[in-house]
Chains A and B, each alone.
Chain A
Amino acid sequence: MKKIFEIALGILAAIGGFVDIGDIVFNVAAGAMFQYQLLWAVVIGVGAIITYSEMCGRVAVVSQRAAFDAVRERLGFGIGLLALVAGQLVNLLTLAAEIGGIALALQLLAGLPFRVLLVLAVVALGVVIWVLPFEWIERVFGYVGLTLLVFAVGAIKLHPDWGGVASGFVPHADTSDLAVYLFFVVGLIGAATVPYEVYFYSSGAIEERWTPKDLGTNKANAIIGYSLGGLLSFALMITAAELFYPRAISPETLGSVALGANVPLGEIGLLLAIIGILFAVGGAAIDTAFSGAYNVAQFFGWEWGKYRTAVEAPRFTLAWMVMLVLGFLIIVTGVDPIQVTEYSVIFSVVALPATYIPILLVANDRAYMGAYGNGRVANVFGIFYLVVILVVAVAAIPLMIVSNMGQG
């Protein structure tokens, strides 16, 4: 019974923790621009993150080595360092966008000046990371992020055309601007598969001291948690498709996203949506800061882990603090957090292969994994999604240029 409870808690945290500012921005924009047509791209993205999270969680549990350990070992020091630098730059951009997102959500809630809230956001993140244990951070943000389910209720209340919704799961492009459509395909897949998620997931497995007995929990968290998290993405896209698409509204701010819950559900819907955005984005900011610290610590072989005190892992502690400060410095320059989000998702797509290829290789290495190596099903899915990831990684920058960042 205790085990089932643990799994349920983990799944709930995964649902609430799945959506970050990149998912919010791309799903809402895609619904507003292409109605239901891009729902299938979310399915691909969710499938990829399930496959690789399960794999890297299993690798971490069995070998007690997290994802970036594998990256360094498989790619060697030189290319590994390149992957580290690229990964850290993407992490920083993502973190900056998430910090900006927290301040924007707080502003919609309290109406205070943006820059004041930016300072408040980064201080609050630092205090939360310092004070709360790992499990609490993961679960508090995951559970409260579940209030984003208000968008699922709102989507139903807007009475979508369910036939149209169903047809959105079959890839088709009914548009005159194919480049913009494909840009959004890349963005949606990229938003669901950002590298920090797998780095955080695999390091989290070690933080929570999972053993091979927890491999069932790992699988359940990845499959059920991310699938249900994908429902939040569907809800965001359907809401935008119902509310914004018929009125030719192109949503450009988090306020537009919140309005999507306000219109069908009134003030309570609005408040739940903003709180959900705040905690989902806040949780993602912490994941990203940690991910940056995990990567650098694992690459250089430093002591790492939230379960260690600042004295036991001083360079790791300093690393997440530096990440927070740098993320803050980027966003305080006045750049638009939503634009930073779009760039961070597209650049993270380019860096995806450097994360996913080593995981697939290590998960197939019997010397590491023994009896827990990839089976046939894991490899079929792993290779399929790797091909998808390679294609979107190659296409990302050209599509960004040709589609004028999705503006046409």
Chain B
Amino acid sequence: MTAKSLQQQADAAKSAAAEGALLADQVARDRTTEPFARIHSGELADQAKAAAQSLTKARAPATLESKRREAAAAARSTFTALEELHRAPDDQTVARRVEARLKQLSQ
């Protein structure tokens, strides 16, 4: 894995986290529909999962290894948070918790 591809995968996971935070905010404030929240959080979870798998499986040079591990862990956490929203797309308490977590992960 090159520095560029590592950055691309890490950015993809952060993008899913940032968008997931926006969606979770809508769920938390009861401003969206259940099917939309369920389907779209599922799509974002798939994006985060793909990034996590790619980051986990890849071999990186020693200089990038710690960065790769960190990015893979963040992508996995993003996937887990989005999956939680996907399973409870109309639970405002869950959505508030997920939003806070995803905001952190998107930084």
Q: How many residues of A contact B (CB 8 A)?
A: 27
The reply to whether A248 and B38 contact each other, CB–CB distance below 8 Å, is no
Q: How many residues of B contact A (CB 8 A)?
A: 24
The reply to whether A248 and B31 contact each other, CB–CB distance below 8 Å, is no
Closest to A107 in B: B39
Whole-angstrom distance between the Cβ of A155 and the nearest chain B Cβ: 16
Whole-angstrom distance between the Cβ of B90 and the nearest chain A Cβ: 11
The reply to whether B26 and A262 contact each other, CB–CB distance below 8 Å, is yes
- In the bound complex, residues from chain B placing their C-beta under 8 Å from that of A107 are 35, 39
The reply to whether A247 and B33 contact each other, CB–CB distance below 8 Å, is no
- In the bound complex, residues from chain B placing their C-beta under 8 Å from that of A255 are 36, 39-40, 43-44
Closest to B103 in A: A247
Whole-angstrom distance between the Cβ of B82 and the nearest chain A Cβ: 12
The reply to whether A259 and B40 contact each other, CB–CB distance below 8 Å, is yes
Whole-angstrom distance between the Cβ of B37 and the nearest chain A Cβ: 9
Q: At the interface with chain A, which of B8-16, B56-64, B66-74?
A: B8-16
Closest to A32 in B: B15
How far apart sit A255 and B47, CA to CA, in the bound complex (Å)? 13
The answer to whether the Cβ of A256 comes within 8 Å of any Cβ in the partner chain is: yes
The reply to whether A259 and B35 contact each other, CB–CB distance below 8 Å, is no
Whole-angstrom distance between the Cβ of B75 and the nearest chain A Cβ: 14
The answer to whether the Cβ of A251 comes within 8 Å of any Cβ in the partner chain is: yes
Q: Mark B1-31, 1 if CB is under 8 A from A, else 0.
A: 0000000100110110011001101100001
- In the bound complex, residues from chain B placing their C-beta under 8 Å from that of A263 are 22, 25-26
The reply to whether B22 and A111 contact each other, CB–CB distance below 8 Å, is no
The answer to whether the Cβ of A369 comes within 8 Å of any Cβ in the partner chain is: no
The answer to whether the Cβ of B54 comes within 8 Å of any Cβ in the partner chain is: no
* 22 sample A-B contacts, Cβ–Cβ < 8 Å, listed by A number: A247-B22, A247-B106, A248-B14, A248-B18, A249-B18, A249-B19, A250-B15, A252-B47, A253-B40, A255-B39, A255-B44, A258-B40, A259-B19, A259-B22, A259-B26, A262-B26, A266-B26, A267-B31, A270-B32, A270-B36, A407-B8, A408-B8
Beyond A249-B15, A249-B22, A267-B32, 8 additional contacts (C-beta under 8 Å) are A108-B40, A248-B18, A256-B40, A258-B36, A262-B31, A263-B26, A266-B32, A271-B33
- The list of the 10 closest CB pairs from A to B, nearest first, reads A111-B35, A255-B40, A266-B31, A247-B18, A250-B15, A249-B19, A253-B43, A249-B15, A249-B18, A108-B36
Chain A interface residues toward B at CB < 8 A: 107-111, 243-244, 247-253, 255-256, 258-259, 262-263, 266-267, 270-271, 274, 407-408
